[in-house]
Amino acid sequence: MKRVLWSVLLIVAILVAMVPMAVAAPARQGDAGFDYIVVKDDWLSKLALKYLGDVFAYPAIAYYTNQKAAEDPSYAKITDYDLIEIGWKIYIPSPEEAQAYFATRAQTLGVTEGETIKIGALAPLSAPGSVTGGQAMKAAFEIALEEINEAGGVLGKPVELILVDTEGLPERGTAAMERLITQEKVVGVVGEYHSAVGLTAKEVAHKYGIPIIFAETWNDNITASLYPEVFRIAPLSSEVANLDANFIQWLGAKKVVIMTENTGYGIPAAEQTTKKLEERGIEAVTFSADIGTQDFSGIIERIKAENPDLILVLLTGETSYNFEQQAAEAGIGPQDVMMICNQVADDSESFWKNVPDGNLCFYRKVGLPPVLWNEKTKAFAEKYMERTGKTGVESYAMEAYDSLWLMATAINNAGSTDPQAIIEALENIEYEGVLGTITFPYNSKNPPSEAGVEDKWWHQFPDFAAVFIQYQEPGQPSSEAPVVYPEKFQTAPPILP
């Protein structure tokens, strides 16, 4: 178990906590608070610096504006520190009012100078978990953490991220959550790659009432439990199964072999995909193996006997690499039979190192296709590639980045580290992230049962995007591999073996 700890200069936290603001307001405003109409290029931190002399004093503006909005609807209600609109009427407090707000909040939170806000994170950093996925998430967490602290941290204090290795094992996930909550005293948890870990981690989060934002766990039951503490920005396994079935039908396959893993992700995913394929008249046969399996020779011989025209790999991480290369060596790899490889193929350096015969492999990439990247996606991708030396950015890295920023934003919006306040803030959040605009529309105010949707949509980001990519040249960087499906995003037609 490893602990990754980053810190920022405590002097910043001390200054922020004490709020020693110098008045910078125009002379006509004097030292009193005043109403203000938002204009182009305004943002809260900019106004805090201009009128309160401290870029980190923006929570006070939001607090007093919301206080007035509760009595007078002409004032805007600020639910996201990163989002204010032209024409909004807000209130700029006096330095004395701002100082009083921060003093009261410090007493409420029971914090003192030099303390940090602790957020926990889960990721598989060692085998048998997906180390490739875990390391990508770790790099993304580091980038998000640096940005959050550079922007003033959370509630005027630096964020301390405590990243725990789950090894992709459910029992490790349970132990990690217990440690983060009971020993480290985190106010929220983000991350994780494996659904099997998510299924146990959510129980601990629910037991202690601590909010958790899952980044890359697909099992439907993670959100279908309707736990108030559980949120997810990864896609639903059943929705991915439908996407896979559409792609396989589009490719013209008639018989599919699904190679899955014996986990809380692999078995349900195979079952859901089989059902979707059968609805389209496509036969499916499933084989399974334990996570971390090294030798697939026996299973490969059985797959050969089925004579499939497409193989769908639902094995995760390095286990998927083992199967894909051994299948290629046995004559049923992607250059012999259509193969949809696991999404870790997006890490092209790792993929080609482990699957040198993987040309013509298809793989699914969750997240906005590059043609739809927003400015935040582009900025993150640039930082991520510079930090890791990679030529592209994986979906699970994007999800990890957004999960930490979401939690930080929710805590700031709540104005408190109280778990119930953070949960309420998450339910009301509208966050512009690298994955797009993230919201959780099915929540305590709009439960799935009343909205006419399945329970799996509870606290679920509903608007995930996904494309299928194909390596069409040996050693091709993932950034140069073309999108082949959906056709509206296609940059090259598929090449079939």
Query: Residue 55: its pLDDT value, please?
Result: 63
pLDDT digits (tens, 9 = 90+) for 250-269: 999 999 999 999 998 999 99
Q: In whole angstroms, give the CA distance from residue 276 to residue 254.
A: 13
Average pLDDT across the chain, whole number:
89
Report, as an integer, the average pLDDT of 119-125. Answer: 97
Report, as an integer, the average pLDDT of 468-479. Answer: 96
Q: Residues 23, 52: contact at Cβ < 8 Å?
A: yes
Query: Residue 80: its pLDDT value, please?
Result: 67
Number of Cβ within a 10 Å radius of residue 375:
9
Name the pLDDT band for 8 (thresholds 50, 70, 90): very low
Does 300 score more than 90 pLDDT? yes
Query: Residue 223: its pLDDT value, please?
Result: 98
Does 455 score more than 60 pLDDT? yes
Name the pLDDT band for 394 (thresholds 50, 70, 90): very high
73 Cβ contact list (under 8 Å, min separation 6): none
Does 109 score more than 60 pLDDT? no
Q: Among residues 152, 176, 156, which one has the least CA distance to residue 166?
A: 176
End-to-end CA distance of the chain: 44
Does 101 score more than 60 pLDDT? yes
Report, as an integer, the average pLDDT of 84-107. Answer: 83
Look up the CATH number of domain 238-369+466-489: 3.40.50.2300
Query: Residue 104: its pLDDT value, please?
Result: 64
Listing DSSP states for 387-398 in one string gives HH--SS--HHHH
Which of the residue ranges 57-66, 225-234, 316-325 would you say has the lowest mean pLDDT?
57-66
Does 69 score more than 70 pLDDT? yes
Q: Residues 346, 395: contact at Cβ < 8 Å?
A: yes
Name the pLDDT band for 44 (thresholds 50, 70, 90): confident
Only one residue has tokens 């605009």, namely 437
Q: Among residues 401, 476, 395, 411, which one has the least CA distance to residue 144?
A: 401
Q: In whole angstroms, give the CA distance from residue 488 to residue 168.
A: 36
Name the pLDDT band for 401 (thresholds 50, 70, 90): very high
More confident residue, 273 or 27: 273
pLDDT digits (tens, 9 = 90+) for 208-244: 999 999 999 999 999 999 999 999 999 999 999 999 9
For 117-235+375-457, give the CATH class: alpha beta
More confident residue, 137 or 60: 137
Which of the residue ranges 14-28, 56-70, 353-367, 481-495 would you say has the lowest mean pLDDT?
14-28
Q: In whole angstroms, give the CA distance from residue 404 to residue 297.
A: 41
Which of the residue ranges 162-166, 207-211, 410-414, 463-467 would you say has the lowest mean pLDDT?
463-467
Name the pLDDT band for 82 (thresholds 50, 70, 90): low
Domain 117-235+375-457 shares a fold with domain 238-369+466-489:
yes
Name the pLDDT band for 49 (thresholds 50, 70, 90): confident
* Residues of the chain above pLDDT 90, percent: 77
**How far, in whole angstroms, is CA 442 from its chain's centroid?**
18
Q: Among residues 189, 132, 140, 139, which one has the least CA distance to residue 164?
A: 189
More confident residue, 422 or 30: 422
Quote the pTM value.
0.71
Q: How is residue 384 written in tokens?
A: 């991520």
Domain boundaries, the chain: 17-109, 117-235+375-457, 238-369+466-489
Query: Residue 199: its pLDDT value, please?
Result: 97
Strands 338-341 and 483-485: unpaired
